[in-house]
Structure 1
Amino acid sequence: MLSSKELLHLEDFLGMEQTCVKTMSFFANSVQDSQCKQLFQQLSQKGQQHMQTMSKHLNAGQSLQ
């Protein structure tokens, strides 16, 4: 069971991760170099996976309270 403080931290991390995903997507769409574009796309995808994982924990914690 997650405490309210832990839930707040997860919400903060989720917001930061969302900002990172948006930034990496922006860079992927902005660069011309294919290797850089691929790197930014991979980083964006990894961030999206992190967001999904955090969302699961956040939703599970909220339903327990």
Structure 2
Amino acid sequence: MLTAKELMHLEDVLTMEESCAKACNHFASMTQDNQAKQVLQQMAQKDQQHLQTLKKHLSAGQTLQ
């Protein structure tokens, strides 16, 4: 069971992951260096995976309390 405080923390982390994914995608689109572009795209992809996991936990927690 998640408490209200834990849900707030998850929401904060969700917001941070969204910001990180957007920033990585933005910088990947701006760079001309293919290696840097690939690393940034991989980072954005991992952030997206984290977002999906957090969203699952967040929706499950909201139904608990």
TM-score, structure 1 as length reference: 0.98
Structure 1 distance, partners of 2:16, 2:52, is 13
TM-score, structure 2 as length reference: 0.98
Higher RCO, 1 or 2 (CA under 8 Å, sep at least 6)? 2
- After TM superposition, the structure 1 = structure 2 runs for residues 18-37 of structure 1, keeping only pairs within 5 Å, are 18-37=18-37
- Runs of 4+ with >6 A deviation: none
1:64 Cα deviation after fit: 1.0
User: What number of residue pairs does the alignment pair up?
Assistant: 65
Structure 2: stretches of 5+ with no match in the other structure: none
The Cα RMSD (Å) is 0.4
Structure 2 distance, partners of 1:43, 1:34, is 14
Partner SS state of residue 32, structure 1: coil
Structure 2 distance, partners of 1:62, 1:45, is 26
Structure 1: stretches of 5+ with no match in the other structure: none
User: Identity of aligned pairs, percent?
Assistant: 58
1:7 Cα deviation after fit: 0.1
- After TM superposition, the structure 1 = structure 2 runs for residues 11-22 of structure 1, keeping only pairs within 5 Å, are 11-22=11-22
